[in-house]
Amino acid sequence: MRTKEKDLITYKDGNLYCELADVWIDPRNPVSRALVTHAHFDHFTFGCEEYISTYETAILLKERVGENINIKTFDYGENFKINGINISFHPSGHILGSSQIRFIFAEEKWLISGDFKIQKDETCRHYEIVKTDYLISECTFGLPIFKWDETNKIANNISNWITNSPEKTSLLFCYSLGKAQRLLNEISQTNFKGNIYTHSSINKINNCYKKLGIDINETIKIENKKEIDKLKGNLILLPPSLSKGSYLKNFKNIQTAFASGWMSIRALRKRSGYDKGFAISDHADWDGILEVVKKSEAKNVFFHHGDSESISKYLIEKESINVLFFQGII
């Protein structure tokens, strides 16, 4: 195993760090310079002196953090230099603006996958294969029990779920950034022709997407939650945080569902407390991760986020790929 000092990217205080460039990648505590792969809350923090991201991510970050942040943007594929290190963003297919980040120094290539997916998603750029020597990949769904169905199959299931209960209001919970827009796009291509209502948090993101040229079908913002009970036969998109607590308490004519990759497991579906689960994810499934590892031609792979033990062992045993482990990672 290589020693920590020689690695271009290391794991430090729970974050990925490039010492030569002195940049942090998706840091969870304020730092002087942060590269941000995408605008989900668990990938950035408030209070960094400088942010660097794609243009789309910057717009979404400003929506979430405020207009007054110091942020530099670069296009996908555009090279920029920090302390002599060549850096570039590449589409990761996770959500709008999401990127993989490649570092090149002394002819050695390092690629941080960011959160990524291979599946079809018309609301963001498709995953781009980037060749590298070292790959640092997420493995949120790094077990072979995860195999996503075609997106349109899930969308049709959602459509049937709504239309089969015309006497009820269908509440679909999903992350407000990325998943919601992808679902809106997919549902518009199904037989469901009812109205779609959205919570204000989703509505805000929809507007950002539209500003960035993504075609999102019209939705109606919920002004008064009391009306929810009366919207039978229609669909409402809500963020998962509202499923807990008192928000749903007084509704009688509703059915609920959660759209998440975890819903492919029955025990988790049952435990989630939703009536129904739709297994749709913005992360790669097992095959997706393996495909990326292979096509990146990386000779050395690191995993983080998720059950890295199993996929590492599998790649070492079955594919003879050199899997490395960060020091200090749990």
Partner 1 sequence: MSLKNFSKLFTDLDSINSTNNKIEVLKNYFLSNKPIDNSWAIYLLTGKSNKRFVSGRYLKNLFSQVYEYPQWLIDTCYLKVGDSAEVITLLLKNKNYSRNKKISNITLNKLLSKTLPDLSKLNEYEKNLEIKKIWETLPEDDHLIFNKILTGTFRVGVSIGLITKSIAKLINVDEEIISHRLMGDFKPSVDSYEFLINKKIKLEELNSKPFPFLLANTFEDRIIKNSINDFQFEWKYDGIRIQLVKRSGNISLWTRGQELVNESFPELVDKMSNIKDDFVLDGELLVWDFQEQIALNFSFLQKRINRKSPTRSIQIKYPIIFIAYDLLEIKGRDIREIKLENRRIELEKYFSTWQNQPKNNISDVFKICDLIYPKDWSDAQSYKEKSRENNTEGLVIKNKRSIYTSGRKKGIWWKYKVDPMQLDAVLIYAKGGSGKRAGLYTDYSFALWKDKELIKFASAYSGLTNNEIKELDKWIRKNTIEKFGPVRSLKPEMVFEISFEKIQISKRHKSGIAVRFPRITKWRKDKKITDANSLENAYELMKKI
Of 27 and 288, the one with the shorter C-beta distance to partner 1 is 288
For residue 35, give every residue at least 6 positions away whose Cβ sits within 8 Å of its Cβ, in sequence order, or none. Answer: 23, 24, 25, 26, 52, 53, 87, 101
DSSP 223: S
CA gap 91, 100 in Å, rounded = 6
Instruction: Give the pair of three-digit tokens for residue 330.
Output: 């749990």
User: Could you tell me the smallest distance in angstroms from the CB atom of residue 158 to partner 1?
Assistant: 13
User: Could you tell me the smallest distance in angstroms from the CB atom of residue 244 to partner 1?
Assistant: 10
User: Could you tell me the smallest distance in angstroms from the CB atom of residue 61 to partner 1?
Assistant: 30
Backbone CA torsion sign across 172, 175, 177, 178: negative
Of 110 and 258, the one with the shorter C-beta distance to partner 1 is 258
User: Could you tell me the smallest distance in angstroms from the CB atom of residue 22 to partner 1?
Assistant: 32
CA gap 176, 158 in Å, rounded = 17
Q: What are phi and psi of 52, to 5 degrees?
A: -130, 130
CA gap 69, 289 in Å, rounded = 34
Cα→Cα distances 249→98, 163, 243, 246, 330, Å: 36, 23, 10, 5, 39
Of 156 and 264, the one with the shorter C-beta distance to partner 1 is 264
Of 224 and 320, the one with the shorter C-beta distance to partner 1 is 320
User: Could you tell me the smallest distance in angstroms from the CB atom of residue 127 to partner 1?
Assistant: 19
Of 246, 208, 206, 210, residue with least CA distance to 222? 206
Contact 264, 145 (CB under 8 A): yes
With 0-12 / 13-18 / 19 or more C-beta atoms within 10 angstroms meaning exposed / middle / buried, residue 128 is: middle
Element (H, E) at 288: helix 286-295
User: Could you tell me the smallest distance in angstroms from the CB atom of residue 265 to partner 1?
Assistant: 6
User: Could you tell me the smallest distance in angstroms from the CB atom of residue 269 to partner 1?
Assistant: 8
Residues that bind partner 1 (CB under 8 A): 143-147, 264-268, 270-271, 275-276, 285-287, 307, 309-310, 313-314, 317-318
Of 27 and 142, the one with the shorter C-beta distance to partner 1 is 142
Of 54 and 140, the one with the shorter C-beta distance to partner 1 is 140
DSSP string, 43-63: G--TT-SEEEE-HHHHHHHHH
User: Could you tell me the smallest distance in angstroms from the CB atom of residue 255 to partner 1?
Assistant: 9
User: Could you tell me the smallest distance in angstroms from the CB atom of residue 102 to partner 1?
Assistant: 29
Which residue is associated with the tokens 């979430």? 64
For residue 95, give every residue at least 6 positions away whose Cβ sits within 8 Å of its Cβ, in sequence order, or none. Answer: 38, 39, 40, 115, 123, 124, 177, 178, 179, 181, 182, 282
